[in-house]
């Protein structure tokens, strides 16, 4: 897969994560939203896969070091979101504030790797242009 495509998929995952946590999507979302499985599917390509990942993350029983590959992926997406979040005080994404605290105490080497990833995801988002159907301004 082309490198740029990977960063676009990560951007779409960030959009979908924010959408699920802020607005809710069909059968998954914040507790204060009334969700209906009968409502039409949203237009975010990553939403269905992320919904499955969130459900797994919430119910996974593997609690060992090294753990579950799906849960690791969810942890990585949550950390990436926290590094890209522009509204940390009002953010509805779980663990966003906790990750930001963790980031402050992280080594410079780890921090620089994450910053490079964030910059590449943002650059991929910017290549979509202002009129892209996928670009909803959620980040």
78, pLDDT greater than 50: yes
Mean pLDDT of 68-93: 91
* 134 is a domain residue: no
% of the chain surpassing 90 pLDDT: 29
pLDDT band at 70 (very low <50, low <70, confident <90, very high): very high
- Say what the pTM is: 0.75
Structural domain for 55, as ranges: 3-127
Q: How many domains does the chain have?
A: 1
Tokens of 68: 């579950």
* 138 is a domain residue: no
- Here the CATH number for the domain that contains residue 94 is 1.20.1020.10
Give the long-range contacts of residues 76-82, CB within 8 A, separation 24 or more. Answer: 77/13, 77/14, 77/17, 77/50, 77/53, 78/17, 79/114, 80/10, 80/14, 80/114, 80/117, 80/118, 80/121, 81/14, 81/17, 81/18
Please list, residue by residue across 28-37, b when 16 or more beta carbons sit within 10 angstroms of its beta carbon and e when fewer do. bbeeeeeeee
pLDDT band at 129 (very low <50, low <70, confident <90, very high): low
* 132 is a domain residue: no
* 50 is a domain residue: yes
């Amino acid at each position: 897969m082309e490198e740029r495509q990977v960063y676009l998929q990560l951007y779409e995952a960030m959009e979908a994560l924010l959408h699920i946590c802020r607005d809710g999507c069909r059968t998954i979302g914040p507790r204060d939203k009334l969700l209906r499985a009968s409502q039409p599917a949203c237009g975010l390509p990553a939403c269905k896969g992320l919904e499955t990942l969130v459900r797994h993350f919430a119910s996974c029983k593997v609690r060992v070091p090294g753990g579950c590959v799906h849960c690791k992926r969810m942890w990585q997406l949550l950390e990436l979101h926290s590094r890209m979040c522009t509204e940390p005080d009002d953010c509805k994404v779980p663990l966003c504030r906790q990750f930001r605290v963790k980031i402050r105490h992280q080594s410079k080497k780890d921090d620089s790797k994450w910053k490079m990833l964030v910059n590449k995801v943002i650059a991929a988002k910017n290549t979509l242009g202002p009129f892209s159907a996928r670009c909803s301004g959620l980040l």
